[in-house]
Amino acid sequence: MSEEIKANNMNADQEYGELTALLKKEFPKAVLGFHAHRADETVVIKRDSLESVCRFLRDDRRCTFEIMTDLTAVDGLEMDMTPRFEVVYHFKSLTHARRVRLKVPLDEDDCKLASIHHLWKAADWYERECFDMFGIIFEGHPNLKRILMYEEFEGHPLRKDYPIDKQQPLMELKEIEERHTYGRHP
Amino acid sequence: MTDMSALQSRMDTNASGEDFSASVMSIEIGPAHPAMHGIVRLTTQLDGELIVGMEPEIGYLHRGFEKESENSKWIQVIPYTDRLNYVSPLLCNIGYSMAVEKLYGIEAPRRAEFTRVIMGEISRITDHLTCLGAAAMEVGAFTFFLWFIKAREYLWELVEEMTGARLTTNWTRFGGNSMDLPEGFLSDLADRISKLEEIMEECDKLLTRNKIFIDRVKDVGGISKEDALSFGFTGPMLRACGIPYDVRRADSYSVYDELDFEIPVGSTGDCFDRFLVRMEEIRQSASIIKQAADKMPEGPFMTDERMLQYPDKKDVYGNIEGLIDHFKLVMEGHQPPAGEIYMPTEGGNGEIGFYLVSDGSGDPVRVRMRPPCFNYVEAMPLMTVGHYVADIVPIFGSINMIGGELDR
């Protein structure tokens, strides 16, 4: 890799945008960290203040993030991240033509945080998917059930300790084999 | 999320006090219904023919894209992205490659970017042609469907010429494309685009002012601006509501800022607006393709950055640097610097966003794709309740659900 790419990486983490400054001013206790790697403004906030920060991002005239673009989580098990999980929110403001990423660190033993389905309707299904894939509980969600996997599925497939080759047959294999022999000519 | 308010209000106004709740039927539409574009189940509550509640159920095509990607090397993810949106695979290829390039902090050469614009817009047109053709066929316009599939075929032949495959394209690489423009491609392109424009003109006359068609789609499945934003709508669905949000303009990635195009918007966000917006976007994309072909610069189609592209075979067998680079790229994979990025691009359906996390090793930590039609299917109850059961078909056709990107 060339020197130029390395130099780009070095100074990217140092700067942050005006939105980070605004959030730090409005919620001094909630902001745990920030960075602007590759100009993606990122603010790490405390779990308890998620709802108030999100409400501020949506309603304040200086923010007006109309669209909740994405919600997902990162399992930092292999990176030895503490705490293990990070819930990642992406928002887009059309008025101010900017994006922001919010991250909420979550402990493995206490994977719970407030639902924001009442602020953006998109959060309803995003939170269901995040629960399905990572087992993160969104408190106050009206219908927190699996969305991509089936109800009987055990475990949460995008967790790093869920093996990729694990099989969970819906019907016992024995039962299927018995059915086969039933119709088979001796 | 059963919305019974429509029924409730009817019951309240009924003076005789009769209980009509028994008249509500629960009907399963799908998972494998011929009028569903893919495998999705809509549990619908009907009062006669009136829809009073709906619950969509998805996940029938879940293949674990994210899990597979996180257990692959960065470069091995590209073929998986073909299978996300299988009517516009190149847009997913381009979105993913641009995301990894953002992670590296590099840009592809200009010739590669212009080629990507051309191929991306071809894919956008095929995406819209498929959506509109199928939606029109389901409300009875079969000729329109055949004409559009014919036009799509012309474009897929171009895609085949460029990538070697019609659908499983696997075309982009980090820092460029796997192949340059083939010989005579630009003249073929001009020929096909003029054929497409002829078909567009014919089909426009056939359907846009057709009374039968308009009666089926006008004022059906509308959604307000506020709800569309709250549900996270993007792409043609949001533009049909009158909000000119297009990632190509708003984030101005690639070389779109050098090309001149309009962003068509609707007003009420009903199925007819979505139809008109997509029709106009096809014309705009054709214009973008012509401009990009005219401006096509000379130069390399792949970055010469080491450890990004595989070295030439003559270097692999001819000198030690080439051999080691090749060995390390094959065994350890590409190693983007540690960090996280979100790269939005405009897909055929709306905003395709890749959220990638790298720890600096060759194995991706997180590969997340934001599927645009996830939000549309979520909003299906809002768009259908209060309409009749026959309206489900045009509404569902207009949201252009693609199972591959919805369930990943």
Closest Cβ–Cβ partner in A2, A37, A99 for B305: A2
A154 interfaces chain B, CB cutoff of 8 Å = no
Whether B403 and chain A come into contact, CB under 8 Å, resolves to: no
Q: Which pLDDT belongs to residue B94? A: 92
Q: What pLDDT was estimated at residue A9?
A: 45
A101 touches chain B (CB under 8 A): yes
Identity of the residue in A72, A142, A157 whose CB atom sits nearest the CB atom of B368: A72
A142 vs B contacts (CB less than 8 Å): 1
Cβ contact B141:B210 at 8 Å: yes
Tell me the shortest Cα–Cα distance from B236 to chain A, in angstroms. Answer: 15
Query: What is the average per-residue pLDDT within A41-49?
Result: 88
Whether pLDDT at A18 is above 90: no
Our CA dihedral for B56, B60, B65, B67, rounded to 10 degrees, sits at: 100
Cβ of A148 within 8 Å of Cβ of B359? The answer is no
- The reply to whether residue B379 touches residue A101, judged by beta carbons under 8 angstroms, is no
| A120 pLDDT higher than 60 | yes
Domains in chain B: boundaries: 5-57, 65-407
Q: Tell me if chain B has a CB within 8 Å of the CB of A121.
A: yes
Provide the shortest C-alpha distance from residue B59 to chain A (in Å).
4
CB-based contact, A147 to chain B, within 8 Å: yes
Distance from CA of B85 to the nearest CA of A (A): 17
Taking only residues 193 to 222 of chain B, the set having a beta carbon closer than 8 angstroms to any beta carbon of chain A reads none
Q: How many CB atoms lie within 10 A of CB B18?
A: 10
Q: Are the C-beta atoms of B165 and B86 separated by less than 8 Å?
A: no
> Which residues lie across from A114 on neighbouring strands?
A139
ipTM of the prediction:
0.84
Cβ atoms B42, B56 nearer than 8 A: yes
A42 contact residues in B (CB cutoff 8 A): 340
In angstroms, the Cα distances linking B311 to B105, B106, B157 are: 21, 18, 30
Which chain B residues touch A2 with a CB distance below 8 Å? 305-306
Residue B205 is classified by DSSP as I
- Nearest-CA residue of chain A relative to B358? A79
Instruction: Tell me if chain A has a CB within 8 Å of the CB of B324.
Output: no
Chain A: closest CA distance from residue B87 (Å)? 22
Domain count of the fold of chain A: 1
pLDDT surpasses 80 at A174: no
Q: What is the largest CA-CA distance in chain A?
A: 80
Give the minimum alpha-carbon distance from B103 to chain A in angstroms, rounded to a whole number: 7
Which of A38, A126, A149 has its CB closest to that of B102?
Answer: A38
Using a CB–CB cutoff of 8 Å, tell me whether A72 touches chain B: yes
- Cross-chain Cβ contact A12/B379 below 8 Å: no
Using a CB–CB cutoff of 8 Å, tell me whether B345 touches chain A: no
Q: What is the pLDDT of residue A172?
A: 67
A1 band by pLDDT with thresholds 50, 70 and 90: very low
| Closest-CA residue of chain B to A74 | B366
Residue A124: pLDDT over 60: yes
The pLDDT of residue B99 is: 92
pLDDT surpassing 60 at residue A186: no
- Domain housing A67: 3-183
Which chain A residue shows the shortest CA-CA distance from B250? Answer: A97
Do the chains contact at A12 and B339, CB–CB below 8 Å?
Answer: yes
Q: For residue A111, give how far its alpha carbon lies from the nearest alpha carbon of chain B (Å).
A: 19
Q: What is the rounded CA–CA span in Å between residue B246 and residue B144? A: 27
Domain B65-407 classified CATH 1.10.645.10?
Answer: yes
Q: What is the pLDDT of residue A2?
A: 45
Determine contact: B105 vs chain A, CB below 8 A. Answer: yes
Convert the pLDDT of each residue in A66-114 to its tens digit. Answer: 899 999 999 888 887 888 899 999 999 988 888 899 999 998 888 889 9
Query: In 3D, which of B209, B215, B240, B210 has the Cα closest to residue B225?
Result: B240
Of B71, B368, B378, the CB nearest to A124: B378
Nearby residues of B203 by Cβ (< 8 Å), 6 or more positions away: B144, B147, B148
Quote the tokens at residue B264: 């068509």
Sorting pLDDT into bands at 50, 70 and 90, what band is A11? Answer: very low
Chain B residue nearest residue A70, CA to CA: B370
Contacts of B1 in chain A (CB under 8 A): 142-143
Distance from CA of A26 to the nearest CA of B (A): 24
Contact A158 B66 (CB under 8 A): yes
Cβ separation B353–A69 shorter than 8 A: yes
CA–CA distance, B167 with B380 (Å, rounded to integer): 28
Q: What is the model's pLDDT at position A14?
A: 47
pLDDT tens per residue across span A132-153: 999 999 989 898 888 988 888 8
Q: What is the pLDDT along chain B (408 residues), one digit of tens a residue?
A: 345 565 555 555 555 555 555 678 888 887 877 667 778 888 898 888 888 889 898 988 898 899 999 999 898 999 999 888 888 899 999 999 999 999 888 888 999 999 999 999 999 999 999 989 988 888 888 888 999 999 999 999 999 988 888 888 889 988 888 888 888 888 989 999 999 999 999 888 888 888 888 988 888 888 888 899 999 999 899 999 989 999 988 888 888 888 888 899 988 888 999 999 999 999 999 999 999 999 888 888 888 877 788 888 888 898 988 898 889 888 888 888 888 999 999 988 899 999 999 988 888 999 999 999 899 999 999 999 888 888 888 898 888 888 888 888
Q: What is the CATH number of the domain that holds A21?
A: 3.30.460.80
Q: Mind telling me how many Å the CA of A55 is from chain B's nearest CA?
A: 13
User: Which of B299, B328, B325 lies closest to B312, judged by CA?
Assistant: B325
Using DSSP's 3-state secondary structure scheme, residue B337 falls into: coil
* Residues of B (39-98) whose Cβ lies below 8 Å from A: 58-59, 62, 64, 66-68, 70-71
Q: How would DSSP label each residue in chain A?
A: --HHHHHHHHHHTT---HHHHHHHHH-TTTEEEEE-GGG--EEEE-GGGHHHHHHHHHHSTTT---EEEEEEEEE-TTTT-SSSEEEEEEEEETTTTEEEEEEEEE-STT-EEE--TTT-TTHHHHHHHHHHHH--EEET-TT---SSS-TT--S-TTSTTS-TT----SS-HHHHHHHHHHH---
A with B: how many residue pairs have Cβ under 8 Å apart? 119
Q: Which of B337, B300, B260, B319 is nearest to B112 (CA)?
A: B300
